[in-house]
């Protein structure tokens, strides 16, 4: 079972109204460390079961935060929607929405150099995580999603672990 993360790229039209100009989709597998939160059972059992999982019940971690914050560098009003990939109809739906026009963007995760003495790296190359990802058009001008680079950051000392975790746990579609 997987969770689909859909990041909606919100821009404003000429009236200042927010519109979804595109979206980015990635998958996460559930695990003992990446699992649903136990929902707060306010109200009746029926109400709880009929609304579970709510958006706030879906798993989230530092990788989801890095991705969303990176996207917000270009689309500050971007928002994340979660959906459980549970049935064949869910799979069909996501297959269909990814068959639309798209632009390729760069997704980078760089180490945060705050508090680090940079002189020690004068003759060294520091690795960054880099991957090409698709931005799917939402029937709006393609110009709004062209030539984008999303830059996220992570703790300098944990950078290689973070890069490996993104590589092993995130599947951009």
Query: What is the per-residue burial (b if ≥16 Cβ within 10 Å, else e) of 40-71?
Result: eeeeeeeeeeeeeeeeeebbbeebbebbbebb
pLDDT confidence of residue 72: 98
Q: Containing domain of residue 82, as a range?
A: 2-172
Tracing tokens 């995760």 back to the chain, one arrives at 109
Mean pLDDT of the chain: 92
Q: How many domains does the chain have?
A: 1
Q: What share of the chain is helix, strand, coil (3-state, %, to 5)?
A: 30, 35, 35
8-63 per-position pLDDT tens digit: 999 988 888 999 999 999 999 999 999 999 866 666 677 666 667 899 999 999 99
pLDDT confidence of residue 40: 66
In percent, the amount of the chain with pLDDT more than 70 equals 94
């Amino acid at each position: 079972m997987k969770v689909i993360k859909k990041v909606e790229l919100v821009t404003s039209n000429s009236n200042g109204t927010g519109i979804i100009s595109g979206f980015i989709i990635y998958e996460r597998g559930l695990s003992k460390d990446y699992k649903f939160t136990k929902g707060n059972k306010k109200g009746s059992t029926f109400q709880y079961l009929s609304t579970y999982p709510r958006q706030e019940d879906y798993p989230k971690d530092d990788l989801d935060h890095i991705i969303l914050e990176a996207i917000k560098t270009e689309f500050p009003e971007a928002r994340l929607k979660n959906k459980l990939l549970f049935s064949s109809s869910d799979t069909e739906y996501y297959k269909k929405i990814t068959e639309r026009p798209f632009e390729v963007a760069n997704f980078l995760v760089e180490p945060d150099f705050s508090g680090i003495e940079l002189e020690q790296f004068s003759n060294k190359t520091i690795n960054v995580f880099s991957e090409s990802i698709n931005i799917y058009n939402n029937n709006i001008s393609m110009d709004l999603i062209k030539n984008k680079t999303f830059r996220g950051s992570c703790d300098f000392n944990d950078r290689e672990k973070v890069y490996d975790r993104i590589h092993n746990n995130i599947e951009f579609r």
